[in-house]
Amino acid sequence: MEASCPKSETSRTVWTLLLGSWLIALLVTRMLLKEAGIFGISAAHSALWVKTVIALLPLVPSVLVVWTFVQDIRKADEFERRLHLEALAIAFPVTVILLMTLGLLQLVIELNPNDWSYRHIWPYVMMTWLFGYVQARHRYGLK
């Protein structure tokens, strides 16, 4: 028989710190790569490898977020896993359709990459996952 699942989800504080650090890394990266820079520091004219490292900076908190999410799922009980599965079942295809729509639109319209681009996949997934999670909770009579 399956062992009982401990209830030790990552605290809200840890999640806030992780998502906050991801957001800060994203903002700092964008500002560093611009001419104006941040606090007088700019990497706009640095070597390509320096700019590449800076551009990939947000990957560090992103990987931590994914790792924490997977740990939470592994610790979750069967019902919580069901909620997450239903949320992801909505989030994944909806995000794919959204990206496909953007790709198709780019065939005929020149979209501003600052507004719509593949860089925004993460927020799309977050938003569609949240939507799916709320839907799943509603389906099971939870507020």
Reduced to 3 states (helix: H, G, I; strand: E, B; else coil), residue 41 is: strand
Please tell me the distance from the alpha carbon of residue 42 to that of residue 23, in angstroms, as a whole number. Answer: 19
Q: Give the residue with the Cβ less far from other proteins, 2 or 115.
A: 2
Window 101-140: contact mask with other proteins (x via CB under 8 A) = --------------------------------------xx
Least Cβ distance, residue 65 to other proteins (angstroms)? 21
Q: Does 75 bind other proteins (CB under 8 A)?
A: no
Candidate residues 31, 54, 69, 80; the one interacting with other proteins per rule CB under 8 A: 80
Contacts with other proteins by CB under 8 A lie at 1-2, 4-7, 76-80, 82, 139-142
